Amino acid sequence: MTIFQMRQKSSREVLWTGQAETADRALDVAAQAAGYHAFAELPDAFRADMAVEAVTV
């Protein structure tokens, strides 16, 4: 698995860091950690300002 960070595009603030198989799966896992079932359930304005990237530690 790869380690991903989910960031707010406007501020570059890290909102979540964790492991996932793909970037799309990382978005879903981050949303689940916030209490949603999937990334698609987040409000549109929030989803539009999110970015996910693989990180090297």
pLDDT at 34: 94
How far is residue 32's CA from residue 19's CA, in Å, rounded to a whole number? 13
- Please tell me the predicted confidence (pLDDT) of residue 57: 78
Q: How much is the pLDDT for 13?
A: 96
**What is the reported pLDDT for 3?**
97
pLDDT per residue as tens digits for the range 1-57: 899 999 999 999 999 999 999 999 999 999 999 999 999 999 999 999 999 999 987
The pLDDT assigned to 31 comes to 96
CB-CB contact of 3 with 54 (8 Å): yes
Please, are residues 39 and 47 in contact by the beta-carbon 8 Å criterion? yes
Report domain extents, the chain: 2-54
Q: Within its chain, how far is the Cα of 31 from the centroid? A: 7
Which pair of structure tokens corresponds to residue 3?
Answer: 């380690």
**CB atoms near residue 30 (< 10 Å):** 22
